[in-house]
């Protein structure tokens, strides 16, 4: 491998890691609010991409209108799921809620197949395709713009949670919902908002990824692969998810450069197994201490 190859693959890996971090942010938001890992997040990505496909390709609307329709439809879907599926399970064992998200993923996948079929569809990208040149390295334009968009969204959420009144209320609800309710915070409302925000993030990520790889029911598998990022960074840590996304993206890109595309899905899992033996709560996760 030449230095130029190392340089180019490293940049591509870091850009890809930015998209992983964006998808992982949706997982972290739901986990911080419910203490449950949402295994249907990938299917929310897929549904958002299909909503955009329906608006822009089937209905012939411009891309900006398609984005608005996709975000609105995803928000309605998230509210329905939170109200009809997850809210009745409040207080139940965690495994019950986890199994509900797994079942929800299967339902959404099956619905996509019934409504749109199993074929792959091309959609109009929301960012330019023209490549970027950084020195002698050529970088895919959609990946560069996607990284920039993902960075702005993540920064916006970090600032929202740290400084905005609504963000502070959501953090309080995630930390201790009973205490938050005793202080006058509407915990169920904040949980519903969290699901909506996670769905909106997934929709943007689904549109960007779908424009690069085509839209199909298998798009949801991308979200499942990002679970590696979330676990590595720490289930409740947004900065950890960002750093872990960059790490996993770089490792994936370099493993493709060295060993070929056949090991792309294997190497990240091998790395996380090694790290988890040393840091079982992830790189930046909060250890849970139980006092007897």
183-206 residue pLDDT tens: 777 777 888 888 899 999 999 999
Q: Has residue 72 got a pLDDT over 50?
A: yes
User: CB 289: neighbour CB atoms within 10 A?
Assistant: 5
If one compares 191 and 276, the residue with the highest pLDDT of the two is 191
User: Is residue 55 pLDDT above 60, yes or no?
Assistant: yes
The token pair at 279 is: 């840091």
- Separation between Cα atoms, residue 85 and residue 202, nearest integer Å: 19
Spell out the residues 6+ positions from residue 289 whose beta carbon is closer than 8 angstroms to its own.
Answer: none
User: Where is average pLDDT lowest: 156-170, 172-186, 227-241?
Assistant: 172-186
Domain formed by 3-278, architecture: Orthogonal Bundle (1.10)
Each residue of 82-131: pLDDT tens digit?
888 888 887 777 788 888 888 999 999 999 999 999 889 998 888 888 88
Kindly list the domain boundaries of the chain, sorted by start residue: 3-278
For residue 39, the SS3 value is coil
- Residue 9's pLDDT band, with cuts at 50, 70 and 90, is confident
Confidence of residue 233 (pLDDT cuts 50, 70, 90): confident
Query: Could you report the per-residue pLDDT of 237-270, keeping only the tens digit for each?
Result: 888 888 989 988 898 888 888 877 777 777 777 7
Asked whether residue 291 carries a pLDDT value surpassing 60, the answer given is no
Check residue 71 and give its pLDDT. Answer: 95
0.85 exceeded by the pTM?
yes
Evaluate if residue 144 carries a pLDDT over 50: yes
Find the mean pLDDT for residues 67-79: 95
Q: How far apart are CA 91 and CA 231, in angstroms?
A: 24
DSSP 284: S
Number of H helices and number of E strands within the chain? 12, 2
- pLDDT reported for residue 287: 60
pLDDT of 177 strictly over 80: no
């Amino acid at each position: 491998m030449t230095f130029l190859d190392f340089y180019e693959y490293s940049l591509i890996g870091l850009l890809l890691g930015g998209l992983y971090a964006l998808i992982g942010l949706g997982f972290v938001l739901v986990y911080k609010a419910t203490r449950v890992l949402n295994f249907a997040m990938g299917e929310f990505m897929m549904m958002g991409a299909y909503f955009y496909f329906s608006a822009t390709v089937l209905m012939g609307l411009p891309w900006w209108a398609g984005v608005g329709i996709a975000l609105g439809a995803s928000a309605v879907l998230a509210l329905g799921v939170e109200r009809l599926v997850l809210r009745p399970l409040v207080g139940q064992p965690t495994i019950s809620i986890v199994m509900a998200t797994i079942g929800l993923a299967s339902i959404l996948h099956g619905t996509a197949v019934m409504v749109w079929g199993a074929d792959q569809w091309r959609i109009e990208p929301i960012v330019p395709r023209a490549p970027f040149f950084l020195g002698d390295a050529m970088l895919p334009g959609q990946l560069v713009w996607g990284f920039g968009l993902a960075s702005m969204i993540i920064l916006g959420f970090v600032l929202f949670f740290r400084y905005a009144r609504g963000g502070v209320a959501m953090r309080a609800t995630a930390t201790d919902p009973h205490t938050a309710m005793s202080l006058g915070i509407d915990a169920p409302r904040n949980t519903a908002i969290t699901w909506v925000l996670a769905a909106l993030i997934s929709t943007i990520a689904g549109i960007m990824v779908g424009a690069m790889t085509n839209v199909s029911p298998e798009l949801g598998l991308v979200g499942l692969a990002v679970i590696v990022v979330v676990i590595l960074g720490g289930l409740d840590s947004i900065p950890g998810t960002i750093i872990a996304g960059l790490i996993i993206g770089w490792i994936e890109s370099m493993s493709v450069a060295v060993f070929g595309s056949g090991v792309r899905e294997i190497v990240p899992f091998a790395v996380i197994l090694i790290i988890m033996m040393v840091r079982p709560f992830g790189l930046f996760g909060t250890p849970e201490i139980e006092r007897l």
